[in-house]
A and B are shown apart, each in its own frame.
Chain A
Amino acid sequence: MKIPRTRYEVNLFRPKEGYMVDELAAIVAVLFGWGTLTFGFQFLLRFLEETPSGESFLTRLSFFNLPFHFWFTGQMLPLWFIILCLAFNLYIDRLTMRHSRNRDRSYD
């Protein structure tokens, strides 16, 4: 029998030891990748702008037939989201497997 301990209160900023800590690390990593590339890139465009409409070397660069920034936002970012979701799922799958093995192998 486990000794009853203080009950855990769910709090995003104070994850429970074990699975939740690892899960939260994955969430933070994905959200970091999600935020920096999405919004960071727009800030970069703004930072580099040479004209009021935002032209810079990034907009003059051509990539896959498109201006680089247009390709990056319109095509790369949706792909990036898919990659992030894929990575998150693979990680969570492994994590779940590891923790359920530790517990009762119910996952196998």
Chain B
Amino acid sequence: MTSASEQLLPLAIVGTILAAFVFVGLRHKTLAASEYDIRGRYTGRLGGGAAIASNWMSAASFLGMAGLIYLYGYFALAYVIGWTGGYVLLLVLMAEQIRRFGKFTAPEFVGDRYASPAARLIAAGVSIGITVIYCIAQFKGIGIVFGWLFGVEYRTGVLIGVAILVSFIVLCGMLGVTRSQQFQYLVIITAFILPLMYLAHRFGYFWVLPQFGYGAAMDELATRFKIDMAAPFAGGSLFQWTSLCFTLMVGTAGLPHVLSRFYVVPNVRDARWSVVWGLFFIALVYWSAPAYAVFARLMEARAGAIPDPATARQLADGIVLTAARQGGVPPWLLGVLAAGAVSAAFFTTAGLLMTGAASFSHDIYASFINRHATDRRKMSVAKSATLVLAGIVLLLALNPPGLIAEIAATAFALAGNTIFPVFLLGIWWGRTNGHGAIAGMLTGIAVTFAAPLLGSTFPLLSRLFPVTSSAFFGAPLVILVIITVSLLTPPPDERMRRFLADEVHGHLD
């Protein structure tokens, strides 16, 4: 355990950077008022890319990914590939068409495309479910970082961190702070790479590009300590790798907060190009994540203190911080690293909670409970829903069910099994109707939760639909269900089919 004074400086730096976000946000507000404050302003393709990347980068990318590579080596690269390869699907199959369709939140798209209030209700429920699961992972990251900053155990860390998070969200809301996603990306990438350069330099590896420098460390681990982090099938089988990777890919293309990014982009071309930049900015972090894991392993091996698998699993999610601390990264730089993790987790959580709360106030409350709700009433319902959701997530995060990236992966599985198929078919097959979408989404929900709920009774379910990888068989199954049910029921109305043919796919006829 580090002494209290050692954490004072990091704590001050985290505080300063959070304050800087408020300051930059207020400055932006005076420059250009934006209606969609949480989604940020539009600042060209490069800026759009940085916005996509910062919108994406969460505790799962910042802390969780290195933790998994630390544990499973090559197997965990399925996360790197899943979370980058998904953008290819998003770009070629959805980005332009969603932009042209003109509905950007998942429940709105589903409700409008399928002209079905029930489908919209399910989509809203799924959005909220994804928010909750994804946020548990973020809260775990927040708990680990604040636990370390305040020198307290994990649970107290979660409570402190979430109290700060909620105050931060409320403060930003009251001041009307615009989210500056470019600044946010800058903080995250700097916070991730700088300590890594320091570590590589200290170990005498090629530090200018630590993304390549860690190769020598891997080599030392393999030859001197017989720890092979690169063994392809040591952490999981070919099926496990493939199914996990595929699930994360379709999940990426089905996450509501990723899909709604195209909202602020003024035209279709810029929507496409900002995806390329976004992917590049995301890859910068993912190229670097293995280095933390490898350095952590190397330090353990050199110290002769290799933890047993159970202990390693306990350590994994904090491994980025641990590696930096044990590697002698100075306190100010540790503060920058912690600030990066906090920004990643805070803004992802803020965005997700608001998406979830909007799903509730807009798609459930105003559409089903109180149809005559005024905008003011909807706003206050959304605000309460944000707090309620945060409370639910907090309770679940006190006993986190797994590693950060694993919890996040479950949210991806849910998105890949529900939202992805209804968007894909909704855009590319005019015959898809509301009945199909409803049956598909219900099947998707059942498939996602089959293994955790019924896996012990029916082991086959756990094998076919592993909890983090259920979309490999799940998504194709759901697509099949949607097609079958749609063909057995009457086609969607003429107006929507014409709209799809003329507007979404007919802009150049």
Residues of B within 8 A of A79 (CB): 283
A4 to B74, CA, bound (A): 58
Interface of chain B, helix or strand or loop or mixed?
A: helix
Top 4 A-B residue pairs of the complex, sorted by shortest distance between their CB atoms: A65-B215, A54-B232, A10-B430, A54-B233
Given contacts A46-B238, A67-B218, A77-B84, contact A8 B233 (CB under 8 A): no
Given contacts A10-B430, A12-B429, A38-B245, contact A82 B280 (CB under 8 A): yes
Which of chain B's residues has its CB closest to A99's CB?
A: B508
A45 to B508, CA, bound (A): 44
Segment at the interface with A among B85-93, B120-128, B314-322, B453-461: B85-93
**18 contacting pairs across A/B (C-beta < 8 A):** A16-B505, A31-B89, A31-B92, A42-B232, A42-B238, A45-B232, A46-B232, A65-B216, A66-B214, A67-B218, A73-B80, A73-B81, A78-B283, A78-B287, A81-B88, A82-B280, A96-B508, A103-B509
B87, A81: Cβ atoms under 8 Å?
A: yes
Residues of A within 8 A of B246 (CB): 39
| Minimum Cβ distance to chain A for residue B434 (Å) | 16
A81, B85: Cβ atoms under 8 Å?
A: yes
| Minimum Cβ distance to chain A for residue B310 (Å) | 21
A42, B241: Cβ atoms under 8 Å?
A: yes
Residues of A within 8 A of B273 (CB): 89
What 5 additional pairs, Cβ within 8 angstroms, besides A16-B501, A55-B231, A66-B218?
A: A10-B501, A31-B89, A45-B232, A54-B231, A79-B283
Asked if B504 CB lies within 8 Å of chain A CBs, one says yes
| Minimum Cβ distance to chain B for residue A97 (Å) | 10
A64 to B269, CA, bound (A): 35
Cβ contacts A22-59/B at 8 Å (1 or 0 each): 00001100110010001100110110010011110001
Q: How many residues of A contact B (CB 8 A)?
A: 54
B77, A73: Cβ atoms under 8 Å?
A: yes
Asked if B313 CB lies within 8 Å of chain A CBs, one says no
Residues of B within 8 A of A73 (CB): 74, 77, 80-81
Most B-side CB within 10 Å, residue of A9, A34, A46, A81: A81
Asked if B325 CB lies within 8 Å of chain A CBs, one says no
B91, A38: Cβ atoms under 8 Å?
A: no
Residues of B within 8 A of A38 (CB): 81, 85, 245
Residues of A within 8 A of B216 (CB): 65
A39, B87: Cβ atoms under 8 Å?
A: no
Which of chain B's residues has its CB closest to A17's CB?
A: B509
A66, B87: Cβ atoms under 8 Å?
A: no
A7, B428: Cβ atoms under 8 Å?
A: no
B92, A26: Cβ atoms under 8 Å?
A: yes
B287, A70: Cβ atoms under 8 Å?
A: no
Partner of A11, one of B92, B245, B428: B428
A19, B509: Cβ atoms under 8 Å?
A: yes
Asked if B309 CB lies within 8 Å of chain A CBs, one says no
A39 to B74, CA, bound (A): 14
B85, A59: Cβ atoms under 8 Å?
A: no
Asked if B506 CB lies within 8 Å of chain A CBs, one says yes
Q: How many residues of B contact A (CB 8 A)?
A: 58
Residues of B within 8 A of A85 (CB): 87-88, 91, 275-276, 279
Which of chain A's residues has its CB closest to B84's CB?
A: A78
Asked if B372 CB lies within 8 Å of chain A CBs, one says no
Asked if B431 CB lies within 8 Å of chain A CBs, one says yes
A59 to B232, CA, bound (A): 8
| Minimum Cβ distance to chain A for residue B469 (Å) | 14
Residues of A within 8 A of B234 (CB): 53-54
B81, A78: Cβ atoms under 8 Å?
A: yes
Residues of B within 8 A of A64 (CB): 212, 215
Which residues in chain B, 426-475, are within 8 Å of chain A measured between CB atoms?
A: 427-431
Asked if B486 CB lies within 8 Å of chain A CBs, one says no
Which of chain B's residues has its CB closest to A16's CB?
A: B505
| Minimum Cβ distance to chain B for residue A80 (Å) | 9
Asked if B272 CB lies within 8 Å of chain A CBs, one says yes
A52, B505: Cβ atoms under 8 Å?
A: no
B77, A89: Cβ atoms under 8 Å?
A: no
Asked if B290 CB lies within 8 Å of chain A CBs, one says yes
Asked if B251 CB lies within 8 Å of chain A CBs, one says no
B88, A84: Cβ atoms under 8 Å?
A: yes
| Minimum Cβ distance to chain B for residue A45 (Å) | 5
